[in-house]
A and B are shown apart, each in its own frame.
Chain A
Amino acid sequence: MIQRLISLGLFLALWVAGSWLAGNPGTFPSPLAVAKLIASEAASGDLAFHLAATLLRVIAAFVLALAAGMALGYAMGRSRKLDLWMDGWLVVLLNLPALVTIVLCYIWIGLTEVAAITAVALNKIPMVTVMIREGVRALDPKLDDMARIYRLSPWDRMRHVVMPQLAPHVASASRTGIALIWKIVLVVEFLGRSNGVGFQIHLHFQLFDVAMVLAYAFAFIGVMLAVEAFALRPLERSASRWRTG
């Protein structure tokens, strides 16, 4: 803990020194200036409005990507045939730059919310699929036998036999997913939305207002760290409670 605090202090000190050396608060503002901006944006209500817009997009894209990726990854992990058919597409999609998906979605669907969320989800689905497929391949065949002998219903099999085994894979897909998704959401907003953190960064980029860019960036990093600490990690902990009995 103490190391973390010192390291954070060191980061702030470097930032202060950098901005002092640069000598131009317009292009390299001090941490204090950024903090003041965050406070004033929060007071005006703008900060909450744009953070909420971005967070909603992150959640929508995350849920969509996780659901689709899990269904696809499960099917591909269970069926060799399907895996042979789809593996090539997956490799192409995994290597498709996020920017291309975003531009194509905006052109084909229009500059809408649906296009924005679809573009982000499409970027993440292949990675979730691959991670879940690995998990499905590692499922214990002995537990499958057991479920078969005792004739568990498909629902009970999913809930009590399969999902607990996939939980660690779902957790790591979620964690890497959310980290990637929020960065792509900013790009989507930058290119074609009229609210959200990405839009604010676009606006202040055009005005050359670095302090404002940093204010929104750091505020949203804070939000995402809170999501990680208060939503994802407790979920993971409760899912692995049985390991320690």
Chain B
Amino acid sequence: MSASLPPAGALSVRLNGKRFGTRHVLGPIALDVQRGEMLAVLGPSGIGKTTLLRLMAGLDDAVDGTIIRPERIAMVFQEPVLLPWRTASQNITIVTGASTAEAGAWLGKVGLSGRDDEFPVRFSLGQQRRLSLARAFAANPDLLVLDEPFASLDDATAEQMIALTVDLIRAGNVTSVLVTHSEAEARALSGRIVRLKGEPAILAE
């Protein structure tokens, strides 16, 4: 039995399909991500990328098939999804269990050093996204899931964020799955690109 299980840190998806009511969103999907691999799922908006991502991350339990995923997952959402009533530092410590010092160090790595005690409302959108990225890495994840994390950022900020994310992923040897509609983002961030196509959507290399 154990021979068929993928190695630790890897993700294995065997999906028969996904429906919402009468709408058939995803067709059969088979996907394996190796430990430390950076995979991008590319496809136009509305194709079912986020649906697939939510299944992978375990946010949607209604799985027709099997998905094997590591224990510790972190996610960078389309929006920053911070706790606006907690400080930048608390947003990391409360959510990930990191110490205040570790949180400070992560804030430093994303260019927010010294802003530990400020509330996120004082941050620009780019800064909020960087805080959300720091939170994801502070969780020390085996799998990092990124859902269009650079959408609605201006080009310069997006470029900066992508470079930062690549550095952090490489440094931590984190398995990552990125979902995006931007070919450039997918190329910049990932070793392997798969495409979602058709209706119901299936994968193509």
The finding on whether chains A and B are genuine partners in a shared complex, rather than unrelated, reads yes
Measured between alpha carbons, how far is A142 from B145 in the docked complex, in Å? 15
B8 interface hit (Cβ, 8 Å):
no
Contact of B94 among A149, A156, A243, A245 (CB under 8 A): A156
Which of B18-26, B77-85, B169-177 lies at the binding interface?
A: B77-85
Measured between alpha carbons, how far is A156 from B135 in the docked complex, in Å? 16
State the A residues within 8 Å of B (CB). Answer: 142-143, 145-150, 152, 156, 160-161, 164, 242-245
Given A150-B74, A150-B139, A245-B119, A143 and B81 touching (CB < 8 A)? yes
Give the shortest distance, in Å, between A242 (CB) and chain B (any CB). Answer: 4
Asked if A160 and B75 sit within 8 Å, CB to CB, the answer is no
Residue of A143, A156, A242, A243 with most chain B CB atoms under a 10 A cut-off: A242
Measured between alpha carbons, how far is A51 from B153 in the docked complex, in Å? 60
Measured between alpha carbons, how far is A244 from B86 in the docked complex, in Å? 12
State the B residues within 8 Å of A (CB). Answer: 57-59, 73-75, 77, 79, 81, 83-86, 90, 94-96, 118-119, 121-122, 135, 139, 145
Query: Shortest 7 CB-CB distances between A and B: which pairs?
Result: A164-B85, A245-B122, A242-B85, A245-B119, A149-B75, A146-B81, A242-B119
Asked if A142 and B95 sit within 8 Å, CB to CB, the answer is no
Residue contacts A-B, CB under 8 angstroms, 7 given: A142-B79, A145-B59, A146-B95, A149-B75, A164-B85, A243-B84, A245-B121
Asked if B77 and A161 sit within 8 Å, CB to CB, the answer is no
Measured between alpha carbons, how far is A117 from B187 in the docked complex, in Å? 67
A143-B83, A161-B83, A243-B84 are known; give 5 further A-B pairs, CB within 8 A: A145-B75, A150-B95, A160-B90, A242-B85, A243-B121
Asked if A242 and B79 sit within 8 Å, CB to CB, the answer is no
Measured between alpha carbons, how far is A245 from B115 in the docked complex, in Å? 12
Contact of B77 among A142, A147, A242 (CB under 8 A): A142
Main secondary structure, interface of A, reads helix
> Which of chain A's residues have a CB closer than 8 A to the CB of B95?
146-147, 150, 152
> Which of chain B's residues have a CB closer than 8 A to the CB of A156?
94
Asked if A149 and B73 sit within 8 Å, CB to CB, the answer is yes
> Which of chain A's residues have a CB closer than 8 A to the CB of B81?
142-143, 145-146
Given A160-B94, A161-B83, A242-B86, A149 and B57 touching (CB < 8 A)? yes
Measured between alpha carbons, how far is A98 from B74 in the docked complex, in Å? 52
Measured between alpha carbons, how far is A145 from B73 in the docked complex, in Å? 12
Residue of A nearest to B73 (CB): A149
Give the shortest distance, in Å, between A236 (CB) and chain B (any CB). Answer: 13
Asked if B121 and A164 sit within 8 Å, CB to CB, the answer is no
Residue of B nearest to A161 (CB): B83
Give the shortest distance, in Å, between A39 (CB) and chain B (any CB). Answer: 46
Residue of A nearest to B71 (CB): A151
Residue of B nearest to A159 (CB): B94
> Which of chain B's residues have a CB closer than 8 A to the CB of A146?
75, 77, 81, 95
Asked if B57 and A160 sit within 8 Å, CB to CB, the answer is no
Residue of A nearest to B57 (CB): A149
Measured between alpha carbons, how far is A164 from B84 in the docked complex, in Å? 9
> Which of chain A's residues have a CB closer than 8 A to the CB of B75?
145-146, 149
Measured between alpha carbons, how far is A148 from B75 in the docked complex, in Å? 10
Residue of B nearest to A156 (CB): B94
Contact of A242 among B96, B121, B135 (CB under 8 A): B121
Asked if A160 and B121 sit within 8 Å, CB to CB, the answer is no
> Which of chain B's residues have a CB closer than 8 A to the CB of A145?
59, 75, 77, 81
Residue of B nearest to A153 (CB): B97
> Which of chain A's residues have a CB closer than 8 A to the CB of B58?
148-149
> Which of chain B's residues have a CB closer than 8 A to the CB of A143?
81, 83
Asked if B59 and A149 sit within 8 Å, CB to CB, the answer is yes
Give the shortest distance, in Å, between B51 (CB) and chain A (any CB). Answer: 13
Measured between alpha carbons, how far is A152 from B91 in the docked complex, in Å? 12
Asked if B84 and A242 sit within 8 Å, CB to CB, the answer is yes
> Which of chain A's residues have a CB closer than 8 A to the CB of B73?
149
Contact of A244 among B59, B74, B79, B121 (CB under 8 A): B121
